[in-house]
Amino acid sequence: MSNGFTFVDHVRPDGAVVRWGSRRHRKHQRPAGGSTWWAPSARGWWIAVLFAVGSLLFAIGSVPGYSDAVGAQWDTITYFVGSLFFTTASFLSYREAVDAAPKAQNPSHRRFFVFQPRRIDWWATAVQLAGTLYFNVSTGFAMAHNLSADTAHKHVWRPDAIGSVCFLVSSFLCWYEACHGWAAWRPRTWSWWITLANLVGSVAFGVSAVAGYINPVTGEVHNLGGADTTTLIGAICFLVGAVLLLPERTEESQRGL
């Protein structure tokens, strides 16, 4: 029995029902090495740390007064570097999903980029990775001096808006995967808190994109203060979700203690 995407129930010979969950399988393909907080040889540890650093940099960049203190140039550099951490973490997450595929779909795990539209985790990580690339473009162009209004609209705001939509779609898919549906109350599971934090963060980033609309004629930002505030909220939510990835990574080994 299955919901088509997120789990499959197997009946063992003794009659017991064992559930294979998409997210659990993906996150626990190998025994967790190292401790919860320090495991530099584990991919899952790097995913958490890289997402955390990227989130922290976005949070710092949007703190009131930071831009005035360091200057607009360093503020945009902070965002750009943070976006690179996001992209690296997202690529590792995508690889994690690809490696979790049945062996017939990726023999010997040799293919980096695959198309697996029947898997919700593939969609979630692939869309997220695309979103981070749009953030790279947006924050990269933002570092340039004296952009015209039209250029800022097309190459700063538009990629930011598309990236925010990608994050929102990805977060909804991850939420569905963890909850096995659109709604669930599972506060005793790390995955529930992680996907909830990321979903709230993605909504905040979406609001930030709306508030940060750049007029293609005047170059004025619709609501700069609102954009910074909601970016800060979103970044904090992503930071929480990233940190919680660490205990999720070792939860299977902790149960065996």
**Listed range (28-32, 64-68, 135-139, 243-247) with the worst mean pLDDT:** 28-32
For helices 190-211 and 224-255, give the axis angle rounded to 10 degrees.
Answer: 170
The pLDDT tens digits for 204-221 are 999 999 999 999 999 999
Between 28 and 138, name the one with better pLDDT.
138
DSSP 23-74: HHHHHTSSPPPS-SS--TT-HHHHHHHHHHHHHHHHHHHHSTTHHHHH-HHH
The pLDDT assigned to 9 comes to 43
How far does Cα 59 stand from its chain's mean position?
15
The pLDDT tens digits for 84-135 are 999 999 999 999 998 887 765 555 555 667 888 888 999 999 999 999 999 9
The pLDDT assigned to 138 comes to 97
The pLDDT assigned to 253 comes to 59
Instruction: Give this prediction's pTM.
Output: 0.90
